[in-house]
Amino acid sequence: MTLLELSRCYEEAAVPLRARLRELRFALAAAEDPEEIWQLKRRITELTPMLTQMNELAELTARYYERGYWRNEKYTF
């Protein structure tokens, strides 16, 4: 598997996360119960870093070999 193929895998894996976060945000806007609001916010807080990381890794693996690409220091040794 090449890095470009891996990048596509990260992009595909981000699609359901993005959709789920959208659903949770709509549910949060409609929620009135404080307990439900707390649970929705907690779930959104848990999923948001996952989506961010998938987006970062998709970009990193897609552009890894481009000359002049500034790599994210978070993913370098």
- Asked if residue 42 belongs to a domain, the reply is yes
Average pLDDT of adjacent 10-residue blocks, the chain of 77 residues: 92 97 98 97 97 92 80 66
In this structure, the chain runs to a length of 77
Question: CA-to-CA distance for 44 and 52, rounded, in angstroms?
Answer: 12
pLDDT score for 76? 65
Considering its fold, how many domains does the chain have in total?
Answer: 1
- Asked if residue 56 belongs to a domain, the reply is yes
- Asked if residue 73 belongs to a domain, the reply is no
- Asked if residue 69 belongs to a domain, the reply is no
Range of the domain at 18: 3-62
- Asked if residue 15 belongs to a domain, the reply is yes
- Say what the pTM is: 0.82
- Asked if residue 54 belongs to a domain, the reply is yes
